[in-house]
Structure 1
Amino acid sequence: MAERLPILHLVGLPSTKLQSSHALLHHTLGNGSFDTFSAMSSHLVASVGVLKQGSRWTEEVDRVLGVALTECKPVYLGFPTDLFHVKVSSEGLKTPLPYPHSAPPLPPSAASKGQPQENTVENNPILEHVIKEITERFKAAKKPIAIIDICADRFGCGPGLRELVEKSGIRFFETPMGKSVLDEQHPQYGGAYVGKNSLPAIRQEVESADWVLMCGKLESDFNSGSFTFDLPPQQTIELHSFETKIGFAAYPHTDIRSVVPLLTKALAAAVKDLGGKKEIKNGEKKVIEQGEQQRKDAQAVPKGENMGGEILHKWLWPRIGKFFKAHDLIIAETGTTSFGIVNVPFPSTATCIVQTLWGSIGWATGATLGVALAATERKEPGRTILITGEGSLQMSIQEVGTMVKMGVKPYLFVINNDGYEIERQIHGVTAKYNDIQMYDHQKMLPFFVGRNNSIAHASYEVHTPQELDTLLNDPEFNKPDKIRLIEVFMPRGDAPESLLNQAKLTAQANAKV
C-alpha cells in the first residue's frame, strides 16, 4: 500500500457452510468469527472482497481486480473452498480489465452525459484548462525543470515523460524513489534531488527554478531529505495519480496518465512558438557545470587509496557502479545500500528497485527472487543484482533456497559490517540490539544447494578494494551463469555520506516539538 503496488492478496477461506455454522477451526481465533482478518486487511488495501454463497461472484472478482489495476494499490479477495469449482458465466470475460498504464475514464459524476467517458479535453473542460494553464506558465518561465518521482513509474509514465522532456528541452532530476525511471545517461539529466541531502550544486539548480513540473511526487522522509524540498508552491506543478496541482489549486479528474501526453504536445507547440528551446544563461550554466562536476566527483573511484586496506563506502559505491551493465536489475536493500546507490549512475536500460518509503529491513532478498523470476520473461533478461547487508539478509535468508529451487542466478552482494549499520547511524551506535549473530556466509549456498551439486554456484569473500576490484573485472565473474554470493567485509562505523547527512536530518526532525 505504501509503495503503490497492485498486488492481489488471494486468501483461501473455509467453506461457506463451516463459516455459517461458526465452526471452531485452526488458523482462526477460536471464536467462530471469520471476518477478523479481512477487517484487519481493510486498513492496508484499497479494496476488500469476500465471496459468499449466493453473491455475484464474477462481478466481485472483476471489481476487486479493477481497483488494483486502476489505483495501483493492493487488494484482498477472500475465496471459500466450496466455491472453487462452481461453474459461472463467462460473460464477464468479454469486458477487458483496466490497464494500469491507461488513463482511467471520467466517473459518471464528472462525465457530461452521466456515463463513464474517455478522459479527453473534449469531455473534460477541467483537463483542457489544466493543460492551458501549465503551458502558459511554461512560456513565461525562464528556468523550467522537471522532477521525476515514483508514482510516475507506477502508472507507466516513464516513456511519456522522456518524450515530454525531450520535446520541451527542460532538464530533469529524480528523487531516490524515482531513480532510473528515466535514462540517467540522458544529456538533460541533472541528478538526484533529495532536498538538503542533495549534492549542493544540484540543490541550488533545482531550488532556483521558476517552473517545476513534479511528476508522481511522494514526499516521504527519506525520499525528501526529511521534508526539506524547497519548492515554492507558486512555481510548482504537481502531476498526481488522480489530480493535478498548480500552485495552490487542485484539479480533480486530471490524472498523470491523461495529462502527460496532452502536455507533451502542448509544450512542443509552445517551444515552436517561442522560436526554439529556452536558452541557458551564463550564470545558470555555471551552476549546471558545478552540478555536473559534483556528480562526476561522487561517481569517480577514489585514486591513491590503499588498495590493500579496508573497503570503505566512499570507494565501494563508485566502483560497484562501474560493474553495472545495460538491462541489469539492481535491488538496493533498505539501509546503507539504498543511500549509497543514490548518486551512482545507472546505464541507460538498467533498473533500480528500492523500498524507500516503507523501508522494511530484509525486503530485498525476497524481492530479488521475484525480480529474477520476472526477468526470465524479458527479451533482454539482464543480470539480477542484490546488494544487501548481513543483518537484513537474516530476515529472509530462506528465499535463497527458493532461488536455488527455481534455478535463477542472481548476484548476491552481502555487506558484512558487523550488524545493523543504518540503525547505528540513526540511533544506537553502541546499542546491543544493533548487533547480530554472525553467520558463516561462505557455507550459505552449499547449505541451500544441499547434495544436488549439479546446480552451479560460487561464493567469494573480499576484504580489500584490490580483491573486490579484481573480482569485478573478471570476465568469467561477469557471466550470469550461476548463483553467486559475494561477501564484502567493511569496517563497522563507516557509512555513505548521504546516510550520514540523513541521520543528522532525521535527528533534527525528531527533536522538533
Structure 2
Amino acid sequence: MKTTVGDFLISRLKEAGVGHVLGVPGDFNLQFLDQIGRDGGLAFVGCCNELNAGYAADGYARLRGASALLLTYGVGDLSAICAIAGAAAEHVPVICITGAPPLEKMRKGVPLHHTLGTGDYADVLIAVAQFTAAQARLTPETAAAEIDRVIRTAIEARRPVYLQLPSDVSHVEIDAPDGPLLVGRMSSDERLEAALAHLGRLWDAASAPAILVDMDAERFGYASELLALAEATGTRFAALSTGKAILPEAHELSAGLYGGAASTAETRALVENSDCLIAAAPRFIEVNSGHFTAQLPQASVLLGSHSVEIEGQVYYGVEPQALLRAFLACLPASARPRSGNQRNAHAEASFGGPVPLTQARLWPRMANFIRPGDVVLAESGTSNIGLGREVLPADVTYIASNIWGSIGYTLPATLGTCLAAPDRRQVLFIGDGSFQLTAQELSTLLRLDQKPIIFVLNNRGYTIERFILGMTDAYNDVANWNYAGLPGVLTDRGNFHVRVASTEAELDDALSLAEDADRLVLIEMRLDAFDAPNALRRFGPATAEFDYGPLGPQRVRA
C-alpha cells in the first residue's frame, strides 16, 4: 500500500498496543507530531523533560506491553538515556523514536545544532545502541522493513529499541506492507517434546518441588501458568524481590520472598533444598540475592525468554509458556486445582492517636490501605524496602526499579501507568530526595487530571544512604520543601487534595480522604530523619561492607 514513512510508523505503534506517545517536542520531530495529530489514533503527551518522559514510557509499557517515547536528536536522546538504560535492565519494551536532522544533511556531514558541530552523526546512534536491542536510521528505501524489524524486536525481546526518523523523511511516500505486524514465537515441536519429557522425568522423581518467580515471568507472559501449576499440584512458590507480587503474595501456597541469606529459614529451605525447582530464570544481583548468598539446586528448570534450561541442558526454541501449558495438560486426572484461598495479608493493628509516625508501624498500615487490583509504585530506597516485606493483596501490580535503581523513576512512571490503566487505582510511595529529582511531572499529572494517590516520605534526606555511610553528614541532606504546597504552585485549577501527616491520627484522616477521592491526592508524611525499616537498617551496613571492604570508612566511623 502507499503511505508515508511517518504514517506507517504510527500504524505499527497502534498495532503494538500503544495509545499514547510520551515525549518532548523539538524542531526535528515536529513533522512527526503533526502526523500524530492528524491520525487521531494516538495521543501525544508532552512531558517536562526527556528523562521524565522515558520513565513515564517505562511505566506505561509495564502495563500495556509496549510504549512509545518521542525525542529530538542529540540533546533529547542523551537526556533520556538513563531511562532507556533502565528499561533495558528491567526488560521493558520502550520504542524510542527520535526526530533526526534531515537525512540529506546527515549524509553530507553538515554541522548542525544539537550535535557536536563536527558533522559526525554516528556518535548518538552508537551511544544509544549500548542500551537498546535494535536500532535503525530510517530511509525511504528501507523504512518499512526497518520499522517492522525494530518494533518486532522490542516486543519479542522485551527490551527498548531506537529509531531515528530524519525530518525530511517522515512525509516521504513509500510502498509498505498492508498486512499486520507479525510478531513470531520461536517454536520447535521436537524440542518441546524433548523438554517436556525431561521435565516429566524430573518432576516424577521429585519429592520436594517448588516454584521461584522473577520479573521475566511477568515480562514474557507465563506467570498465570506458574500459578496454575502451583494450584493444580499444591506446589509452594516464592519470589525474588525483583519478582514481588507477580504471583499473589497472600495465597496459601506463597512462601514469601527468597533472597539467599536474607530469606526466612523456611523459604530458603524450600528453594535451596528443592529436587525440582521451576524458576523464571533469575538474574541475581546483590540486592535480590542476599549479597550473592542465593543458591539454586542442580535439579532446576530455568525458564528463560525463548528457551528453557533443565538440569543444565538448554532447549533452544522452546517457549516457557508453551512448555508449562503442555506440562499442565499432561498432569494426571488425580491432580485437582486447589482452592487458591487468600490468607488475610494483615491483621488490623491498633493505629491512630497523637503517636508520631514511625517506619515500623507505617508500612503495615500502608499495606492494609492497598486494595486488590491497585497499581503500586515504590521508589528505590525506603519505600521499596519498607513495602518489600509486606504481603500485598491479590492482583496488585507492583512496580519498582529494582535492578537499575535510578531514584526519581516512580513519579513520572506513575504518569505512564495512569495513562496505560486509567480504570485502576494508582498508589505511589516516594521519598523526598527522589521526589525532588523529577517533581516537575507532578504538573503533567495535574494538567491531565490524573488521580493517583501520592505519598511523599519527608525525612529530610537520603535515608538509605544515611544507613550506608554518613548518617549525619550534609551530603545526605536535602532541602525541606513545602511538599503539600507544591500542587498549588503547579496549577490554579484546584484539582487536587493535599494533607500533611506527622502522627498516626493525621495519617488515618488523610487515608480516609484518599479512599474515595475524585482527584489527585498528595499526602506528605513527616518522619524522623534517622528512622528506617528494619530491613533497611540491615541492608545499609551490609552494603557498606560490600562496597568499601574491610578497610572502608564505615569501619573508621563505627
TM-score (norm 2): 0.78
Cα separation, 2, equivalents of 1:263 and 1:236: 16
Deviation at 1:462, TM superposition (A): 0.5
1:486 aligns with 2:523: yes
Cα distance in 1 for residues equivalent to 2:545 and 2:328: 40
Residue 96 (structure 1) aligned with residue 181 (structure 2): yes
Structure 1: which 5+ residue stretches go unaligned?
106-118, 280-291
Q: Does 1:459 align with 2:503?
A: no
Structure 2 CA distance for aligned equivalents of residues 509 and 264 of structure 1: 43
Choose the corresponding residue for 1:259, options 323, 329, 337.
323
Aligned residue for 1:94, secondary structure, equals coil
Shift of 1:342: 1.5
C-alpha distance in structure 1 between counterparts of 2:469 and 2:314, whole Å: 39
Which shows bigger deviation, 190-199 or 6-15? Answer: 190-199
1:229 Cα deviation from its structure 2 partner? 1.2
Q: Does the C-alpha gap of structure 1 residues 436 and 511 become closer, same or farther in structure 2, counting only changes over 3 Å?
A: closer
| Among candidates 257, 262, 267, match of residue 197 of structure 1 | 262
Aligned partner of 2:300 among 232, 236, 243: 236
Alignment of 1:406-417 (within 5 A): 406-417=448-459
Residues 217-247 of structure 1 show CA distances to partners (whole Å, capped at 9, x for unaligned) of 2222222222221222x12221111322222
Structure 2 unaligned regions, length at least 5: 1-87, 551-558
Q: Do the aligned partners of 2:209 and 2:275 also contact (CA within 8 Å) in 1?
A: yes
d(CA) in 2 for partners of 1:302, 1:315: 9
Q: CA deviation at 1:346?
A: 1.8
CA distance in 1, matches of 2:127, 2:453: 37
The secondary structure found in structure 1 opposite 2:518 is coil
How many residue pairs align between the two structures? 460
Aligned partner letter, 2:213: I
Letter of the aligned partner of 1:326 in structure 2?
P
CA apart distance, 1:34: 1.3
Q: 1:342 aligns with which of 370, 388, 391?
A: 388
- Structure 1: which 4+ aligned runs deviate by more than 6 Å? none
- Which residue identity lines up with residue 463 of structure 1 in the other structure? S
C-alpha deviation, 1:26, in angstroms = 0.8
Alignment-derived partner of residue 248 in structure 1:
312
User: Equivalents in 1 of 2:490, 2:324: separation in Å?
Assistant: 47
Change (3 A) 1:218 1:407: same
Distance in structure 2 (CA, Å) of the matches to 1:329 and 1:257: 24
Contact 1:420 1:434 in 2 (8 A): yes
Return the offset for 1:94. Answer: 0.5
What are the equivalent positions in structure 2 for 1:326-341 lying under 5 Å apart? 326-341=372-387
> Is the CA contact 2:153–2:161 (under 8 Å) kept in the aligned structure 1?
yes
Contact 1:321–1:345 (Cα < 8 Å) also in 2: yes
The residue number in structure 2 matching 1:151 is 216
After TM superposition, the structure 1 = structure 2 runs for residues 13-92 of structure 1, keeping only pairs within 5 Å, are 13-52=100-139, 55-91=141-177
Quick one: structure 1 residues 300 and 278, their matched pair in 2 at CA, closer, same or farther if it must change by over 3 Å?
A: closer
After TM superposition, the structure 1 stretch with the greater mean CA deviation from structure 2, 250-259 or 327-336, is 250-259
CA–CA distance in 2 between the matches of 1:180 and 1:155?
Answer: 16
1:245 match: secondary structure: strand
The structural deviation recorded for 1:63 is 0.6
How far off is 1:209 after superposition?
Answer: 2.5
- Cα separation, 2, equivalents of 1:460 and 1:177: 32
Letter in 1 for 2:476: N
What displacement does 1:87 show?
A: 1.2
Q: Residue 167 of structure 1 aligns with which residue?
A: 232
Match of 1:419 among 435, 457, 461: 461
| Counterpart AA for 2:182 | L
The answer for the alignment partner of 2:76 in structure 1 is none
Aligned pair partner of 2:484 in 436, 442, 466: 442
Could you tell me how far 1:512 is from its partner in structure 2? Answer: 6.0
Structure 1 CA distance for aligned equivalents of residues 444 and 157 of structure 2 = 31
**SS of aligned partner of 1:334:** coil
Q: RMSD of the alignment, in Å?
A: 2.4
Answer yes or no: is the 8 Å Cα contact 1:14–1:80 preserved in 2: yes
Per the alignment, residue 9 of structure 2 pairs with none
Amino acid at match of 2:327: L
- 1:506 alignment partner, one of 528, 539, 543: 543
Deviation track 1:102-133 (CA, whole Å, cap 9, x = no partner) reads x712xxxxxxxxxxxxx142xxx332222111
Q: Which amino acid counterpart does residue 209 of structure 1 have in structure 2?
A: S
**Displacement, 1:399?**
0.3
How many angstroms does 1:277 deviate by?
A: 7.5
Comparing 172-181 with 201-210, greater Cα deviation is found at 201-210
Counterpart CA distance in 2 for 1:334 and 1:324 is: 19
Report deviation, 1:216: 3.8
Give, in angstroms, the shift of residue 198 of structure 1: 2.1
1:34-54 superposed Cα distances (whole Å, 9 cap, x missing partner): 1210111111101111113x5
2:67 aligned partner: none
Q: Identify which of 181, 193, 201 aligns with 1:128.
A: 193
Shift, 1:151, TM fit: 0.6
Q: Distance in 1 between matches of 2:435 and 2:155?
A: 31
Residue 188 of structure 1 aligns with which residue? Answer: 253
**2:61 corresponding residue in structure 1:** none
Letter in 2 for 1:318: P
Aligned-residue offset at 1:20:
2.4
Give yes or no for contact 2:483–2:524 (8 Å, CA) kept in 1: yes
CA distance in 2, matches of 1:348, 1:142: 29
Tell me the CA shift for residue 76 of structure 1: 0.6
Query: Is the Cα contact below 8 Å between 2:458 and 2:525 reproduced in 1?
Result: yes
Are 1:495 and 2:532 counterparts? yes
Percent of paired sites with the same residue:
30
Q: What displacement does 1:140 show?
A: 1.2
